[in-house]
Amino acid sequence: MAMLITIVVLAVLLLLAFFRASIWSWLIAIAVIVPVVAIESRISDDALQTVYIALTVFVLVFGVPFLRRLLISSFILKIFRKILPQVSQTEQEALDAGTVWWDGELFSGRPRWTKLLAMPKTGISAEEQAFLDNEVEQLCAMIDDWDVTHTRQDLSPEVWQFIKDKGFFGMIIPKEYGGLEFSAQAHSAVVTKVASRSGTAAVTVMVPNSLGPAELLLKYGTQEQKDKYLRRLAKGLEVPCFALTGPMAGSDAGAIPDVGIVCYGEFNGQQNVLGLRVTWEKRYITLAPVATLLGLAFKLYDPDHLLGAEKSRGITLALIPTDTPGVEVGRRHFPLNSAFQNGPTTGKDVFIPMDYIIGGTQRIGQGWRMLMECLAAGRSISLPASATGGVKLAVRSSGAYGRVRKQFHVPVGKFEGVEEALARIGGHAYAMDAARKMTALAVDLGEKPSVVSAIVKYHCTERGRIVINDAMDVHGGKGICMGPENYLARAYQQTPIGITVEGANILTRSLIIFGQGAVRAHPYVLKEIQAAHEQNAKKAVHNFDEAFFAHISFSLSNGVRTLAYALSGGRLINVPTDAPTHRYYQQMTRYAAAFAFASDIAMLSLGGALKRREKLSARLGDVLSQLYICSATLKKFEDDGRPEEDLPLLNWAMDDALFRIQAAFDGVLQNFPNRFFALLMRALIFPLGQCRRPPSDQLGHQVSSLLMKPGAARDRLTAGMYLPTDESDAIGALEAALASTLVCEPMQAELEKARKGGKLKSLEELQMVAEARDKGFITPEQALQLERDYALRRKVIMVDDFAPEQLAAGK
């Protein structure tokens, strides 16, 4: 009988969990289960009566909304307000910025995979593709990155003019203002392709189309400001930059000391012009040395009350022509030998009229929110695209080099240690490209995905660091010797730049991804916080009651489902696809439920202290991030038509991400400060232990093999990168050498066999080819083919060397 009761209890809990029951359903379940258990326990009649009375009071208090609000919710709200962490105005504006998208589905613990699969297929228009095939192709062909980074420390004048003339600065500007009006996906594709050729050119192209004057004008500018600047920006007649970071305010941008004082002054010969006297000191500002139009963030003060009663007006944004008296630009930083224009800008008591404020006086004090909303979209595109472009170059070159370069008569890519690196290169590239495309699609769908943008910025740049390190290892000495023939070294040097900018990665991982996601993407937390801030007491209790008890039901449901999914391995979960991906969807549903449950336990037990538990927050953010990357990876596979030859890449990316999720959960559980809750979460999330394993050696072998031979899978993985066909180009020669190697190896094997048999006497390769031709072992055409193969392999393997005077300072 006890066993039957246990089964019934579990069945009821499972049904409630799967149908995400309301709090009333849970109360009814308790009202039924507790008496049954009490009767089965054979307690006395008096004790049973006490149980009934207590249960009745419990159900009435928690089940009748009026009583619950009066006796329970009002009390909990007071405690909630006390433990709620203090949030600064800039933090609140960052939390309020952007929209919730797929991250909301993941936080729900029950992602609707049909919604993911119903999203439009990623892709660009015919017009955008034509621009990629023509203008972007021409731009890449014009660039000699060694000349850019070593000789000039700048793009050539011809490249600068081409970028301006062909509208690269106006990709986000509407056609009515002379811009290209490209989609976010096309913007991303352009940056990806240019980045596969030159990091300097990619940064130069992407910055005017990211967080900066054009985007701010489009969203917030007055019509007069739009008419004045957008067409000039689109045509490259103005070079824009935006200045936020300063020596005393980096990640804590809300602490900027730069100020604007409302006052009257002289402007363009006119007296008593109402305006601002602005003082600033900024650094790390991309394009500042060559900018003609400076976007500036500063704190506005009105000590003489010229605008109203309030003195401190908050962060405000302005557009200032750099030829304005007092504006200082021109000096350059030199970030890791990168040649893109970056430098400081300063100004002391620079007077500007009020109409220089972006959006006019009605936008005074709204600068931080404006920046956060633009950053949510801009961060979704530029840095993920530039990182992915560099990774595509690493994929293509490392696979080819690993096959062409031989040691001990074996291609180096076939050594298991190198295979391991190639597998990481291929698997990370597949996941990065998937995340890049899906996130750009979100922007095209009208989203401003603040949490998702932080995820892709962090993980694309971090995985880019892993890939470029592996690529350097595969290339060995070829990778470390600088010169015109080295296509990796500058990317290796410059990788930390993307990791540092637009939210340093350490900060992004430990504070933003989960910290912002837990508030914005969670279905109830933001509602609870808003209720806590509500001034109307009755409305506050009502709203908090609804959100809080829905939150309890939500947590209980996820807790039960977490255990059920863990015990079954997720095999009973209904998903919308069949083999070979259905198990991945089931596993992700399992981990999404566990993530939602663990998030609630962390917030419940730690409260406001969770904000300071950055390592725990980072690990929970890792789970959320990997769930998003998995979602994008599966969508990419579907969008590509489920090609069977891509399965090794898909499987490696998914196995790696799922293993990382397991490791992140384990890190949370090992370090969770409340050991009772740690044990509870471990019992529910891993009741049978940790079963996930990283990608197998066999799977890694399959991935590395794909990279080392021409084929559809390799082409899809590197689609969108610049691929020169000129054999005088290092990458063009490498591609030709790969094709030649595969054709010539059988002939070379026959010649080596003949040499060992004494039929050929020559030891040097070219001499042996000539001898074989003369003795009739090969035809003259085959001899030419082998000679070309030798020349290509030698070009690929050789590194640059210089006369001492060529390396002297200033040469």
Amino acid present at 374: C
Tell me which DSSP letter residue 141 carries.
H
Going by their DSSP bridges, the two strands 293-301 and 259-267 should be labelled as parallel
754 CB-contact burial (10 Å; exposed 0-12 / middle 13-18 / buried 19+): middle
H-helix or E-strand spanning residue 282: strand 270-286
Q: 299, 260 in Cβ contact below 8 A?
A: yes
Strands 406-407 and 410-411: antiparallel
Q: For residues 8 and 35, is the Cβ–Cβ distance under 8 A?
A: no
Dihedral, CA atoms, 104, 109, 115, 121, nearest 10 degrees?
70
DSSP state string for 712-781? HHHHHHTTTS-----TTSHHHHHHHHHHHHHHHHHHHHHHHHHHHTTS----SHHHHHHHHHHTTSS-HH
Q: What is the DSSP letter of 357?
A: B
Exposed / middle / buried, residue 806 (Cβ in 10 Å: 0-12, 13-18, 19+): exposed
The residues near 602 (Cβ < 8 Å, ≥ 6 apart) are 610, 616, 620, 668, 672
- Please tell me which residue in 93, 502, 727, 735 is annotated as part of the active site: 502
CA distance 258 to 249: 10
Amino acid at 575: V
Q: For residue 797, give the DSSP letter.
A: H
Secondary element (H or E) of residue 363: none
Q: Is 502 left (phi over 0), alpha (psi -120 to 50) or beta?
A: left
Which of helix, strand or coil describes residue 165?
A: helix
Instruction: State whether residue 683 is helix, strand or coil.
Output: helix
Q: How far apart are the first and last CA of the chain?
A: 90
Verify whether residue 502 is a known catalytic residue: yes
| Residues in the chain, total | 811
Distance, in Å, from the CA atom of 288 to the CA atom of 246, rounded to the nearest integer, reads: 13
Residues 6 or more apart in contact with residue 165 via CB below 8 angstroms: 236
- The secondary structure of residue 800, as a DSSP letter, is -
Under DSSP, the state recorded for 478 is H
φ, ψ for residue 295 (rounded to 5)? -85, 135
Q: How far apart are CA 593 and CA 106, in angstroms?
A: 8
From CA 545, how far away is CA 73, in angstroms rounded?
6
Give long-range contacts, CB 8 A cutoff, 24+ apart: 333-337.
Answer: 333/283, 333/284, 334/153, 335/284, 335/494, 335/497, 336/493, 336/494, 336/496, 336/497, 337/149, 337/490, 337/493, 337/494
Contact 490, 145 (CB under 8 A): yes
Measured CA distances, 317 to 69, 86, 312, 328, 724 (Å): 45, 26, 15, 18, 43
Catalytic residues, which ones?
A: 502
